[in-house]
Structures are given as C-alpha cells and as structure tokens.
C-alpha cells in the first residue's frame, strides 16, 4: 500500500535550498537520477559539481547539458570512476583527497542485471552496488570530515541511494561464514532478485557505517527515490516497461529525493529516507530485527576483510 500511495499521491518537494560555495560529488551523474540531481545542485549555486562517471564521453555530454540548462558554465567537472574496479575506485579516492573541500557526496551509481558475471572476485552487482560503493564512501570520508572541521557551521553529508525493493527479498544467506562470497558463487546466485538483494546489503552496511561515524562529523543517510524513469532498468523486460508507463515518477521528480538527502540534517543520520523525508519505519522488518542486526555485523566483518586486502588501513577511515 505504501508503494502505491507514494507513487500516485506523493510528489517530493522541489529543491530550493542553496548549495552556494559547496563542492558536491554525484556518482552515476551522466544519466537518470544522478544527472537530474546534479542539474538541481548546479542550479542551486554549487561552486563545483563533480560528475563521477564510468563513461567519460557521456559525462561530457551531461556536463554540457547541465551547464547550458542552468546558465552556469564552468561549474561541472567530469571525473572517471569504474565501480567494477578496485583500482579505479582507489585512484578516484586519491583524487578526491586532493580537493580543498568536499561538502556532499551522493553515491547513486548502480547496476541492475540478471546476467551473471564477476568483478574483483565477486558477482558484479555485489562488487558495484555494495563492496565498491562502500569502498568509495570510506575513501572520501576523511575529506568530508576535514571540510566539516574547517567549516563548523556547515554539515558534511554522505548520501547513499538505496531502494524500497530491499524489502522484497529474503536474506537467509546471512548465516553463511562469508555471505557476499557465498552469493557470488553462480550456483548460489539468484540473479532474478540480485538488484533488490544488493540494495538490502547496502542498507545494512550503511546502517553499520553510520553507527560508527558520529553525525557531528559527517551525516550519513540513505534514501529511496521511488520507482522512476531511469536507465537502471534498461535490461528489464516488457513488464517493467509497462509498469513504468503506469507507475513511474519522472526522472526529475525522483531526483528531488537525492537532493533532499544531500540537504537533510542530523535527524537523518543513519536513517532511511523516502519521498524526501526520514521514514525509518519504512525499512523492512528483517532490517529492523535482531537477525538483521546480526547480518549487519557479519557483513561489516566481511567487508572489512575484503577492503583491508585491497587497501590496508582503509577501515581506520571510519
């Protein structure tokens, strides 16, 4: 009922809060929700908007489009990052560390596919949507913290784009010793539900991350943009196309929820947002259960082991 109510009867608020003087990073900013969120943020006065994209050519097209539509040339920059590659994420993180400031990061990039393949030793969706998205968040954490320390009147924010579909799957695999490794074995990979599954893992890990980083340093939140017109479902079948026609929000309307996450206050730290406001009771029963807590702790231990193997000392950024 909540899904249909939101889709038909709720329109997220049009963004009006200023981003003047701020540096904002948006991943997956060449298309869809990321593109439209970056457009809003540019329109709202950001000094520097970093479009983090895998496809640099498409990123340059997006940059030109945003700057033309907002009348703000020279604000956007296109930076390459491939979330399927640890090396690419690490190089991107080092580049971010050289910024004089970073006020907001919206980690929006994701993939949705039912085709099994691997990247960096894990099923690709798990690598992109979960492991390397959290890796990127940890790499840029020191720059977000330092920005807050230099500008104590401003709030630094790290926003993860998740989804209400996290509640549409079961996570019995959490009992395995290494759940992400277990589901990356093709014989255990339920690819028809892999995207919502990846979003469940992301929700759990973002909760754990927020529990370890004080909101007074960096506000860490996560948001559900709702069902929107975007490129994310381009591999989906005809039934999803029909659902889009009947139910989907426009890309611009959906992007408003990303901007809401990027402007939310301390009350959003560790919280789940939907329709542009905090709604933690909308988290799935599993996430809110004792089993969910145990799963979260196990996933964090596994993630820590993976990332320490890639970049020793990375967990000290928490």
> Which residues are tagged catalytic?
195, 199
CA distances from 134 to 108, 151, 210 (A): 12, 25, 12
The distance from CA 26 to its chain's CA centroid, rounded to whole angstroms, is 9
**Separation CA 111–CA 93 (nearest Å):** 20
**Separation CA 23–CA 224 (nearest Å):** 23
CA distances from 108 to 31, 76, 98, 186 (A): 11, 17, 22, 26
Helix then strand count (H, E) for the chain reads 12, 10
**Separation CA 284–CA 296 (nearest Å):** 14
Burial grade of 8 (CB within 10 A; 0-12, 13-18, 19 or more): exposed
Parallel, antiparallel, or unpaired for β 157-161 and 104-107? parallel
**Separation CA 63–CA 98 (nearest Å):** 22
**Separation CA 16–CA 18 (nearest Å):** 6
Task: Looking at the chain, list the stretches that DSSP marks H as alpha helix, in order from N- to C-terminal side.
Answer: 2-9, 32-43, 56-70, 86-97, 124-125, 132-150, 179-183, 194-212, 238-247, 251-263, 285-288, 290-310
**Separation CA 154–CA 157 (nearest Å):** 10
């Amino acid at each position: 009922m909540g899904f249909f109510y939101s889709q038909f009867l709720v329109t997220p608020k049009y963004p009006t809060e200023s981003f003047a003087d701020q540096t904002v990073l948006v991943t997956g900013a060449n298309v869809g929700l990321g593109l439209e969120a970056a457009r809003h943020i540019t329109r709202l006065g950001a000094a520097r908007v970093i479009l983090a994209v895998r496809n640099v050519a498409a990123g340059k097209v997006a940059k030109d489009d945003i700057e033309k539509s907002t009348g703000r040339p020279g604000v956007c920059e296109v930076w390459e990052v491939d979330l399927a590659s640890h090396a690419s994420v690490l190089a991107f993180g080092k580049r971010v560390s050289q910024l004089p400031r970073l006020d907001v990061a919206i980690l929006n990039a994701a993939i949705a596919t039912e085709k099994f393949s691997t990247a960096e030793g894990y099923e690709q969706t798990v690598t992109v949507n979960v492991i390397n998205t959290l890796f990127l968040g940890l790499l840029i954490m020191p720059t977000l913290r330092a920005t807050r320390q230099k500008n104590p009147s401003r709030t630094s924010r790290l926003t993860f784009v998740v989804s209400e579909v996290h509640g549409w799957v079961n996570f019995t695999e959490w009992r395995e010793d290494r759940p992400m490794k277990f589901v990356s074995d093709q014989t255990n990979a339920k690819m028809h539900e892999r995207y919502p599954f990846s979003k469940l893992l992301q929700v759990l890990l973002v909760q754990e991350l927020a529990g370890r980083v004080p909101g007074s340093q960096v506000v860490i939140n996560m948001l559900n943009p709702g069902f929107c017109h975007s490129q994310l479902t381009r591999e989906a079948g005809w039934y999803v196309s029909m659902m889009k026609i009947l139910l989907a929000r426009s890309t611009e309307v959906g992007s408003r929820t990303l901007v809401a996450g990027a402007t939310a206050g301390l009350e959003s730290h560790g919280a789940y947002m939907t329709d542009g406001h905090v709604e933690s009771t909308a988290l799935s029963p599993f996430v809110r259960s004792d089993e969910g807590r145990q799963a979260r702790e196990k996933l964090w231990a596994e993630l820590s082991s993976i990332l320490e193997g890639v970049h020793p000392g990375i967990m000290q950024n928490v």
